[in-house]
Amino acid sequence: MEELSRILTQAAGELIAPTTAAYVLAAIGLNLHFGYTGLLNMGQAGFMLLGAYGFAISTIAGSPLWLAVLVALVASILFALILGMPTLKLRGDYLAIVTIAAAEIIRMLGRSSGLAEWTGGQAGLRGNEFKDTFAALSPLPDGRTAIGPFEYLNNGSDSWWVRIVGWSLVALALLVVWLLTRSPWGRLLKGVREDEDAVRALGKNVYAVKMQALVLGGVLGSLGGIIYVLPRAVQPDGMARSMTFFVWTVLLLGGAATLFGPVLGAMLFWAVFMLLRAGMREGMAGTLAPDQVENIGGLVVGLALMLLVIFRPQGILGNKKELAFDAR
Amino acid sequence: MPDETLPETPPETLPETTENDVTEVTEPESTVEALESVERSDSAAAKAAEHVLATVEPTVGVSKPDTILVADGVQRRFGGMTAVDVDHLEVQRGVITALIGPNGAGKTTFFNLLTGFDKPNQGSWSFEGKSLAGISAAKVARNGMVRTFQLTKALSRLTVLQNMQLAAMDNPGENLFASLVKPLWSGTEKRNAEKALEILSRFKLDAKKDDFAGSLSGGQRKLLEMARALMTDPTMIMLDEPMAGVNPALVQSLLGHIQALRDDGMTVLFVEHDMHAVRHISDWVVVMAEGRIVAEGPPAAVMQDQAVVDAYLGAHHDTDLGDDSLLDPAVLARLEAEEEKR
Ligand SMILES: Nc1ncnc2c1ncn2[C@@H]1O[C@H](COP(=O)(O)OP(=O)(O)O)[C@@H](O)[C@H]1O
Ligand SMILES: [Mg+2]
């Protein structure tokens, strides 16, 4: 009984975990790309990793917090421009191929020994090297605080402070996306998603609109990347293709082109994922090694994504009616 | 645009009940019958168009008294095949010009070139004296030349009203930064919505304003696409097969709308592969075959032109026809049926 309650508390903790907030941010970005504009970004992890490196490397080099965040955002803006310029005039599939490859290139560069002086190579950058400026900003007194079943340090790695900042950013991102998507600009995004030639025929600069969406979604991805590494280290191999794949699962689970889809999707995804892994660890402690638990967990996620796309392609919050006449 | 090269969609044979509310007249059984009962508008604009074009010699490449669009030496080749090869064409301002020709004549390709959706191998063209060669499709539209597509492009998961609002030009809310501040664009948005509803009610789509465009019937989508183009306040509207796939009940009102555009002072260039369809409403007819313009003139004269008859008969060697038998609806219906069997 005690075991069960520990597992449940652990799963519930995922609802407000910094990692969940990071995934919400990345999925809100992907929602701007795919949900609203129809852009197939298969490399959101690349934007996240770039944000993480941008923030961590410049902090280690001595930048204040605001500058480190700015560097991370500018890096992702440049990345989006470089990816978008050659591909956004072409058919949609090209962006998918280029983003998946570019995200891999970022990771390979990060773990290569040539750049190890800055990136730490394969081992990455330890959290203690880059989180001081962030921690110093905390107004919270030192110590621990328990709210309900959740008890964390006020400051430090896996702290209330990271949670407060992470979820505040989520709230801000939701506000901005809400403002954008209810506007004529947001309508333009959806028009491009439905049929870009039709929108072009009405005199709109489709290329510019797609580029703006790509940049904005990428910036949210890079913010997510910063929040993701604050409670841990920057490890290039931990932010690889499977991360992109998880962000997609989060988005499709919650419902693409819905405002709260990414939030609901990420909370549900991480809570259930934790339940699954903690359950396996506790229940089959003797039979399964820890890395087997992770593998089986990943397998179940893949299966769940497939079932989701087949049986509820609109996600939890999506509107079935809208999907019924997807013309293409 | 590979989808533009698909064969013409066959007209819907089953009348859709959802379209009944759009027709005022008793429902015709077939497209041919629908066309028979179309009446030429007797507006001042129609008479003026007829009058001014009566002075124009019906020969290929003839110059017009008041040209809005001029094309020179426009060629487009796909591999070894020359899809479009137009030496000289002038389009008169304020009239309805029909661009006809059998399937595969190059009409859609020519449209794509003129509107910036495709690039020619060579050639130049100008609209209102301004060269449009090499200009992007969006800029062409912003210059006042707006097109529709043979295969309708409704924005399915936007409502009918949103389709219309999106089309309005110069909306400050379409700027990324201004879009965040509603007061900057709410006034424009409101005016656009009023204008949209006015146009929609003309097309009898106002009752559907909150429906997703994807839920409309094929004919209603054609109407929506036309209505949407009007939201841009075009000087010239280019319609690619506006009647393709539209049920006979709607064809009449569609042709009525096209005439109304001319009567409102717009220049209309529309593509149609069925030459019978154009004779009632067009002021001038341009005939294309195998990429070239083979004839132009007022509708009645063009349909008796030997080159035109040959162009249409080229595809029907096995049909023995008299020279002007193409004007006979029964023969045309038979030809159409043959065409569909291919
Ligand atoms: N993108 C393309 N690639 C190759 N051939 C094409 C392409 N577009 C059109 N064509 C060919 O050009 C010719 C003219 O086509 P089109 O302009 O669609 O004719 P129409 O609209 O008069 O029926 C056809 O033979 C068609 O197969
Ligand atoms: Mg065509």
Q: Give the angle B325-B329-B330 at the CA atoms, nearest 5°.
A: 85
| C-alpha B266 to ligand 1 mean position (Å) | 28
| C-alpha A156 to ligand 2 mean position (Å) | 66
User: In chain A, whose CA is at the least distance from the CA of B171?
Assistant: A184
Report the candidate in B152, B193, B157, B145 with the shortest Cα–Cα distance to residue A203.
B145
The encoded tokens of residue B256 equal 């009525």
- At B217, is the secondary structure helix, strand, or coil? coil
The encoded tokens of residue A88 equal 């956004």
Q: Where are the domains of chain A?
A: 2-322
Report the candidate in A66, A12, A36, A61 with the shortest Cα–Cα distance to residue A216.
A36
Q: B14 pLDDT band (50/70/90 cuts)?
A: very low
Question: Chain A residues contacting B, CB < 8 Å?
Answer: 176, 179-180, 183-188, 190-191, 193-195, 197-206, 212, 216, 321-322, 324-327
Which chain B residues are within 8 Å of A212, Cβ to Cβ?
176
Residues 6+ away with beta carbon under 8 Å from A58: A67, A68, A71, A72
Report the candidate in B139, B199, B130 with the shortest Cα–Cα distance to residue B169.
B139
> Which residue's alpha carbon is nearest to atom 7 within ligand 1?
B5
> Which residue's alpha carbon is nearest to atom 10 within ligand 1?
B5
A1 or A134, higher pLDDT: A134
- At A146, is the secondary structure helix, strand, or coil? strand
Instruction: Calculate the alpha carbon distances from B290 to B34, B240, B309 in Å.
Output: 29, 17, 14
User: Of all helices (H) and strands (E), which one includes residue B296?
Assistant: strand B292-297
Mean pLDDT value across residues B46-57: 88
User: In chain B, whose CA is at the least distance from the CA of A90?
Assistant: B1
Which chain A residues are within 8 Å of B174, Cβ to Cβ?
184-185, 188, 204
A165-169, B97-101, B245-249: which is most confident: A165-169
> Which residue's alpha carbon is nearest to atom 4 within ligand 1?
B78
Residue B83, ligand 1, Cβ within 6 A: yes
Largest CA distance in chain B: 68
Q: B275 pLDDT band (50/70/90 cuts)?
A: confident
* Of the candidate ranges A66-80, A286-300, B260-274, the one whose mean pLDDT is the lowest: A286-300
β-pair partners for A174: none
Which chain B residues are within 8 Å of A184, Cβ to Cβ?
165-166, 171, 173-174, 179, 185, 189
B47 close to B59: Cβ distance less than 8 angstroms: no
Question: Model confidence over A191-250: pLDDT tens digits?
Answer: 999 999 999 999 999 999 999 999 999 999 999 999 999 999 999 999 999 999 999 999
Distance CA B238, CA A152 (A): 66
Mean pLDDT of chain A: 93
B143 or B275, higher pLDDT: B143
Q: B315 pLDDT band (50/70/90 cuts)?
A: low
Q: Give the angle A106-A107-A108 at the CA atoms, nearest 5°.
A: 95
- Closest chain B C-alpha to A42 CA, distance in angstroms: 23
Say whether pLDDT at A161 is over 70.
yes
Say whether pLDDT at B217 is over 60.
yes
Residue in B5, B115, B290 to alter for ligand 1 test, most ligand atoms within 8 A of Cβ: B5
pLDDT for A58? 97
* Of the candidate ranges B138-147, B208-217, B241-250, the one whose mean pLDDT is the lowest: B241-250
Q: What is the pTM of this model?
A: 0.89
Own/partner long-range contacts of B336-340 (Cβ < 8 Å, ≥24 apart): B336/B274, B339/B103, B339/B315, B340/B10
The answer to whether residue B319 neighbours chain A at the CB level (below 8 Å) is no
* Of the candidate ranges A129-143, A166-180, B26-40, B263-277, the one whose mean pLDDT is the lowest: B26-40
pLDDT for A287? 84
> Could you say which residues from 129 to 188 on chain B have a Cβ atom under 8 Å away from some Cβ of chain A?
136-139, 141-142, 146-149, 153-158, 162, 165-167, 169, 171, 173-176, 178-180, 182, 185
Strand B122-127 vs strand B67-78: parallel, antiparallel, or unpaired? antiparallel
pLDDT for B9? 44
Question: Model confidence over B89-118: pLDDT tens digits?
Answer: 999 999 999 999 988 999 999 999 999 999
Query: Inter-chain contact B156–A327, Cβ cutoff 8 Å?
Result: yes
Mean pLDDT value across residues A36-50: 97
Domains defined for chain B, CATH in brackets: 31-154+227-304 (3.40.50.300), 160-215 (no CATH)
pLDDT for A160? 96
Q: Which ligand is nearest to the CA of B102?
A: 1
B189 close to B167: Cβ distance less than 8 angstroms: no
Q: What percent of chain B has pLDDT over 70?
A: 80
Q: B341 pLDDT band (50/70/90 cuts)?
A: low
Mean pLDDT value across residues B177-184: 97
B9 close to B339: Cβ distance less than 8 angstroms: no
| C-alpha B228 to ligand 2 mean position (Å) | 20
Residue B101, ligand 1, Cβ within 6 A: yes
Q: Which ligand is nearest to the CA of B1?
A: 1
Question: Model confidence over B123-169: pLDDT tens digits?
Answer: 999 999 999 999 999 999 999 999 999 988 999 999 999 999 999 99
The encoded tokens of residue A216 equal 């904005």
| C-alpha B109 to ligand 1 mean position (Å) | 6
Say whether pLDDT at B252 is over 90.
no
pLDDT for B317? 42
Phi and psi at A219, nearest 5°, equal -60, -40
Distance CA B307, CA B286 (A): 12
Query: Inter-chain contact B157–A199, Cβ cutoff 8 Å?
Result: no
CA dihedral of residues A212, A213, A215, A218 (deg, nearest 10): 170
Atom of ligand 1 nearest to the CA of B241: 21
Report the candidate in B158, B159, B160, B162 with the shortest Cα–Cα distance to residue B189.
B162
User: In chain B, whose CA is at the least distance from the CA of A206?
Assistant: B138
Mean pLDDT of chain B: 84
Distance CA A258, CA A270 (A): 19
pLDDT for B314? 65
Distance CA A226, CA A214 (A): 19
Residue in B6, B82, B109 to alter for ligand 1 test, most ligand atoms within 8 A of Cβ: B109
Architecture of domain A2-322: Orthogonal Bundle (1.10)
Say whether pLDDT at B15 is over 70.
no
